[in-house]
Structures are given as C-alpha cells and as structure tokens.
Amino acid sequence: MKNKNIIISGILAISILQSCSSHDAKEETANTEAQKTETFLLKKDKLTSNFQLPGELIAYQQVDIYAKVTSFVKELKVDIGSEVTAGELLMTLEAPELTSQLSAAESKLQSLEAIYKASEANYNRLMETSKVPGTISQNDIDQATAKKNSDLANLDAAKASYKEVANIKSYLEIRAPFNGIITARNINLGAYVGPSGKGSELPLLTLQEQKHLRLAISVPEAYTGYLKNGDTINFKVKALPNDNFKAAIKRMAGALDLRLRSEKIEMDVMNEDKRLLPGMVAEVSLSLSAADSSFVIPKTALLNSNEGVFVIKVVNNKAEKVEVKKGRDINDKVEIFGTLNRNDILVTKASEEIKNGSEVRIK
C-alpha cells in the first residue's frame, strides 16, 4: 500500500512539471511575439502641399505729383476718380515772375543776335577787303575775329538762358506721365504750391495705374526653394469671396529680407474691369511641389527628443538612431533629410524605449 502511494505521488509530480513547462513555453512564445517591431522600407516620393499666406495688391505704377516751381493753381482739370491718359493736361499753374524772366531773356537774346550779326558782317567785309594786299592790317583782322567770336559766345549763353527759363515755364503745365486714375487731390484753385517742403507738404495729386496691378507676397525662407518664375498661384480677396483669381510669378527678389527672413515675390494681375483695387489684402494659396523626390516617412516614424530629431534604422537586427532634418509635412506623411539610403529598414513607430544598439525583432 505504501509503494502504491509513492507511485501515485510520482505520477502527479510529473504531471505538474509537464503542465508548468508547457505554460512557460507558451508564455515565452507570447513574449517573443510581443517584442517584434513593425518596420518599413524607406522610399522616395514627391510631396505636393498648399501653403496659405497673405499678400497685398498694389498699383503697377503710382506717382505722387508735386509742383516743380513755386506758383499758384490757375486751372484744375481733374478730380478724384478721373481717368486720364499719358500726356493729358491735369492742371495749369501761374507764376507771373517767370513770364517776366522769359520776356527779359528773350529781349537779351534778340539784342545779342543783332550784335553778333553786326560783328560777323564787319569781319566778313574786312576779310574780303584784305584780299587786296596792303589794304587791311593783320591787327584789324585779329580784332574783328576776336569781336565776332566774343559776340558768338554771348549769343550762345543768351540762348541757353532763354531755354532754361522757357523750360521752367513749361513746368507750369502738369501732365499725366502714364495712363491711370487720380486717387488723391490735395489742392484747390488759387492754392500756393511748390516743390515738396516748399509750399506742398502733401502731393498735389496721386496717380495710379489700376488696370494692371502687382500682387506682392513675402515667402518664408523654408519655402523659397519650391517656387520659380512662371508658377501659377491662386488668390482670393474678402471683397469678392465667391471669386477665385489666378496670377503667375513674374519677379523674384533673389535675396532674403534680413528682418523678415523672407523673399519678396511679385505677380502681375490684369484688372481691366477694375474689380480689384490697390491696397486690397489677398489670401494667396501656393502649391509647393519639389523638383526632386525626397525620402517620405510616416509621422510616427519620427522621434523628437531633446537631443534632436531622429529615425530608428534597423541594421543586423540592432537599433541605430539616425539624426535627420524635417521637411514639409502633409497629413500623416513627412519629408526627411539625412544620411539614409533607399530601402533602409526603419521602425514604423519610433519610441524612446528603443535604445540605440538594442536588439530589434522585425515583425
């Protein structure tokens, strides 16, 4: 009976050991499966994203018109909103002293013309007479020559003086330098005007070309490499929320503003119907598409730490942190730049728990 109990106890012990061994094997298998990490092969792709930023519509040409000479407004032919063409008379000014100066210069010019004609005639007679030997001394000829040259010089100076005064008087007529619209008027008839700071603190008129506008934007440094001349952009304005407008990049500064760290870019906008106004703020949408493909990964594969930005590469089943620079991101994808190659194996969900050099089991 005693031997029988011993045998039964042995059988029970063996059964318990086998059960524990089977349970440990299952648990080890489960742990092994749990330690496996999801990875992916690194590929290149092109990301196209839209970037929104504000812009400003400005007149293609704009000029503030001042008086060239001190004078009074005699006649005003335009007002705010007047549409003018190049060369059209905008206003006439009055300066009586200029008229007197012009008359004096004209009289002096006529007098010197008469003097020169007389000295020239005397010189010609002496030269004709001197053809007969002994009739005219060389001294008389030299004096006549000097007198003629002196009178000619005086005449040329009088012509220049007359032309100067005549040009100044022409400034009393102010004409439009280009086609456009008068957008400001700061004078009235009889007003005393003059050059800036001398009678005219404000411009007499402001002229804008509005059928042709410029759209100016400042693009941050990080996005300047994605744009080039000829690229088409879309924009909207608050005054016309249901309308979409297009324009092509025409001018790029080619340098960054040191204060804003951005590049100024301009587009030409045709505005024949004048629906758009200079000064409007535009909501500009830029389509940013890289010229070359770059490495694109899921955002979850990017590890941001105090030491920098990393991805975790698997090499021979070992984790290796590789520092990268982050590019554009769109939805759940992000561009990266670093010491990586196509088809490198990267961890899909990077974590601080995966230490550099630790063993990685690929799922």
DSSP state of 196: B
Closest by Cα among 297, 351, 349, 348 to 324: 297
- pLDDT tens-place string over residues 194-204: 886 655 678 99
pLDDT of residue 14 exceeding 60, the answer is no
Pair 222, 314 in one domain: no
Which residues constitute the domain of residue 303? 36-49+293-362
Pair 161, 243 in one domain: no
Closest by Cα among 166, 171, 173 to 103: 166
pLDDT of residue 50 exceeding 70, the answer is yes
> What percent of the chain is predicted at pLDDT more than 70?
87
Pair 135, 41 in one domain: no
- For the segment 21-35, the average pLDDT, to the nearest whole number, is 45
DSSP state of 301: G
- pLDDT tens-place string over residues 203-243: 999 999 999 999 999 999 888 887 888 888 999 999 999 99
- 201 belongs to a structural domain: no
pLDDT of residue 146 exceeding 80, the answer is yes
Task: List C-alpha distances in Å: 17 to 4, 12, 20.
Answer: 20, 9, 5
- Which amino acid is it at 331? N
- Which domain-ending residue is among 147, 167, 185? 185
Cα separation, 170 vs 165, whole angstroms? 9
Task: List C-alpha distances in Å: 334 to 131, 337, 351.
Answer: 101, 10, 17
Residue 106: its H or E element: helix 96-129
Query: Between 320 and 7, whose confidence is greater?
Result: 320
- Which domain-ending residue is among 270, 289, 308? 289
The reported pLDDT for the residue numbered 33 is 40
The reported pLDDT for the residue numbered 201 is 78
Cα separation, 159 vs 335, whole angstroms? 74
CATH number at residue 325: 2.40.420.20
pLDDT of residue 44 exceeding 90, the answer is no
Pair 261, 154 in one domain: no
Cα separation, 261 vs 222, whole angstroms? 9
Cα separation, 248 vs 226, whole angstroms? 14
CB atoms within 10 A of CB 302: 18
- 11 belongs to a structural domain: no
Cα separation, 82 vs 156, whole angstroms? 44
The reported pLDDT for the residue numbered 32 is 43
Pair 151, 85 in one domain: yes
The reported pLDDT for the residue numbered 291 is 56
The reported pLDDT for the residue numbered 335 is 83
Pair 302, 318 in one domain: yes
Domain count, the chain: 3
Using 50, 70 and 90 to split pLDDT, how confident is the model at 35?
low
- For the segment 280-286, the average pLDDT, to the nearest whole number, is 93
Instruction: State the Cα torsion 113-118-119-125 to the nearest 10°.
Output: 140
Closest by Cα among 320, 263, 251, 330 to 294: 330
The reported pLDDT for the residue numbered 23 is 46
* Cα 26 to chain centroid, rounded: 68
The reported pLDDT for the residue numbered 208 is 96
- For the segment 316-332, the average pLDDT, to the nearest whole number, is 85
The reported pLDDT for the residue numbered 10 is 52
- 22 belongs to a structural domain: no
- For the segment 341-356, the average pLDDT, to the nearest whole number, is 88
The reported pLDDT for the residue numbered 200 is 64
* Region of poorest pLDDT, from 38-52, 69-83, 84-98, 99-113: 38-52
User: Residue 288: what are its φ and ψ, rounded to 5°?
Assistant: -100, 110
CATH number at residue 251: 2.40.30.170
The reported pLDDT for the residue numbered 15 is 53
- 206 belongs to a structural domain: no
**In the predicted model, what is the mean pLDDT of the chain?**
84
pLDDT of residue 20 exceeding 50, the answer is no
In angstroms and rounded to an integer, the radius of gyration of the C-alpha atoms of the chain is: 45
* Region of poorest pLDDT, from 113-127, 262-276, 322-336: 322-336
The reported pLDDT for the residue numbered 7 is 53
Cross-strand partners of 207: 63, 182
- pLDDT tens-place string over residues 249-271: 999 998 998 888 899 999 999 99
- Which domain-ending residue is among 185, 201, 236? 185
DSSP state of 191: -
Pair 76, 177 in one domain: yes
Using 50, 70 and 90 to split pLDDT, how confident is the model at 292?
low
